[in-house]
Chain A
Amino acid sequence: MSKAKVKTFENFWERNKASGGYLLKKRLMTYGISFVRFILLFGMCFMILQPILNKISVSFMTEQDLYNPIVISIPEHFTTENYKLAAELMNYKKAIVNSFVISLTIAIVQIAVCTLVGYGFARFDFPLKKFWFICVILVILIPPQTISSSLHLHFKFFDILGLIKLIRGDTINLRGSIIPYYLLSLGCMGLKNGLYIYMIRQFFRNIPSDMEEAAYVDGCGTLKTFVQIMLPEAKPIITSCFLFAFVWQWTDGFYAKMFMSGTTLVSTSLARIVDSLGAFIQRITGVKTTISIAYSNCILATGTLMIIVPLIILYLFAQRQFVESISSTGIKM
């Protein structure tokens, strides 16, 4: 075995000599490039992962460890108290169930509607199609904050063409309930829905129309063709849009704050966790005290970890679906 090794080694120098030093130079270049590439990528990956790793180590520390300058990443007094406290402050069990149910139902509604609309844009010719598609682009472009003030009022004094006022004598105040957000989702105006429509349309456009035409020729109706022929084809894009809708809804603070202020959700309760900690300590000690920055941040880190753990698990299993859909849609404008 060693003989063979030596032989190839000799061979390499011989070959190098024969090539006039070119082979050595080239080999060194290849190693050099892959070494530099490794350093660069390792550094950047570490930069992205570091905050998460840091949070994990901080979340197991006691308050004492936070101030100890010797303790940097491995806690001296290992504790899980932070998790218990954060769970209590965020009302974790209730919040996670609420968030799960709402994100799931909202994602289903949004993606179902967006698939219909995307299919309509991709496969049918109708008057004013260009105009409506420009409207989709506009929906992507208009920040929801621009219209949020009037949406606020719209749902505070909710009415459908004056019908409700006619029946009940007054408008309904839908603020604080979840219904407005479902209505928005049904109308494709939820979080980033314009983007989903755009992605799904791109995908449908790239499917060859042969199968569809064959189905029509065989006497299959429009709806049946859509459900039985096109939907199975579009499974990858629908799954990934669904995943995005779920994840973004999970972490969303804007719509949650606007429409669901009455419901405990992980995103809103995480945003409030530092204030809840203050209130909690005040209740225990009876004195209004300011909590140290270090400790409140420790609890914040723990809370953040607790709400992103489900997302990380989801990402571990569905990483391909997340990434590949984007690469299949972004290519053609």
Chain B
Amino acid sequence: MMKKNAKKLAGLQKRKAIAGYLFISPFIIGFLAFMVKPFFQSLYMSFCDVQLGSSVFEPIWQGITNYKFAFTVDPEYTRLLVEEITRMMIYSLAIMVFSFFVALILNQEFKGRALVRAVFFLPVILSSGVILGLESDNQLMATLAQQIETTTSNISITDALEQVLTTAGVGTRAFEEVFEIIDNIYDVAIASGIQIIIFLSGLQTISKSMYEAAEIEGCTKWESLWKITFPMISSLFLVNWIYTVIDFCMRSDNGVIEKIQKVMIDQMNYGLASAMSWVYFLIVLAFVGITSGIISKGVYYYE
């Protein structure tokens, strides 16, 4: 069919393009059928009052009533939204710092390193899905913790430190947040398994000769952390940041998500549920976009 050489080459390219499309066709079909259509449908439904019949549902257009309702009438939604977003920012930052710190420690040579790494990764397997939700509202542990707190209120180190610092009058608000994170270090630790591994793999790709050269030139360990380690793995900060934020906003014990589920399944109010989830989605998307834009400006590429 194709006798000329040039035509043959074009044919090969065309065939490769077709093969490529065939390979990704499951994704395209799935994306169009199960993502794009429901996506726009839920956008449309968020502007509607959805009437559910026995065999058919009909959305009745009613403008932005659902959005108005979510923000002004619903007693919980706005509060939950603000709470979750602030929690997300604080915890994501804490997870980044924690996982970077742990990765730095694990990058050193010592006995039992593989074991420690395995333990840190364990929560990725065990604290997922339903178990996470059950863990967080374990009342037995909560009452136990409360009891311990009330009986030993003067002994706790963080409390004592907190008192000293607050009476000293140093920026109290920021300190409260820090103490809250320290008190909830368990939550931070179980959410940072994957981030630790990603940082660790990045750290192991930095060649040792760089540190050696720096040391000969009289660079201290502290300086080489900031001048070598940081720039070399800065691209991983971006990856980890995006992963952390998304992971956090999709957790099943998230207040907003629980609220949406409740409205949708218990109250059967599809329109309102769609409106709520759209607001949440757009806020998270904007947050991810803005922050990753800022971070990617600071990313340094070696090659």
Contacts and interface: CB of A to CB of B under 8 A. Distances in A.
A174 to B, nearest CB: 13
B105 A40 contact: yes
B263 to A, nearest CB: 9
B165 interface: no
Nearest to A171: B55
B185 to A, nearest CB: 7
B281 to A, nearest CB: 5
Contacts, number: 246
B198 A143 contact: no
Contact of A328 (B17, B201, B281): B201
B70 interface: no
B110 A308 contact: no
A294 interface: yes
A120 B23 CA distance: 5
B253 to A, nearest CB: 10
B56 interface: yes
Interface residues of A, number: 89
Interface in B1-56: 13, 15-24, 26-31, 33-35, 37-39, 41-42, 45, 55-56
Which of A117, A135, A143, A304 is packed against the most chain B CB atoms within 10 Å? Answer: A143
Given A150-B38, A252-B129, A326-B201, A143 B264 contact: no
A278 interface: no
Contacts of B288: 141
Interface stretch (B78-86, B88-96, B169-177, B234-242): B234-242
Contacts of A328: 201
Contact of B17 (A127, A197, A251, A294): A127
A129 B120 CA distance: 37
A34 B236 CA distance: 27
B202 interface: yes
B139 A48 contact: no
A116 interface: yes
Nearest to A153: B57
Contacts of B278: 146
B231 to A, nearest CB: 15
B138 A297 contact: yes
B126 A312 contact: yes
Given A116-B23, A143-B249, A326 B198 contact: yes
Contact of B128 (A136, A147, A154, A248): A248
Given A136-B27, A147-B35, A188-B26, A252 B130 contact: yes
Contact of B143 (A251, A293, A322): A293
A132 to B, nearest CB: 6
B135 interface: yes
A135 B45 contact: no
A112 B120 CA distance: 29
Nearest to B14: A126
A311 interface: yes
A183 B121 CA distance: 31
B31 A188 contact: yes
A146 B39 contact: yes
A48 B17 CA distance: 49
Interface of A: 34, 37, 40-41, 44-45, 47-49, 51-52, 54, 113, 116-117, 119-121, 123-127, 129, 132, 135-136, 138-154, 156-157, 170-171, 183-184, 186-189, 197, 222, 247-248, 250-254, 267-268, 270-271, 293-294, 297-298, 300, 304, 307-308, 311-312, 314-315, 319, 322-323, 326-328, 330-333
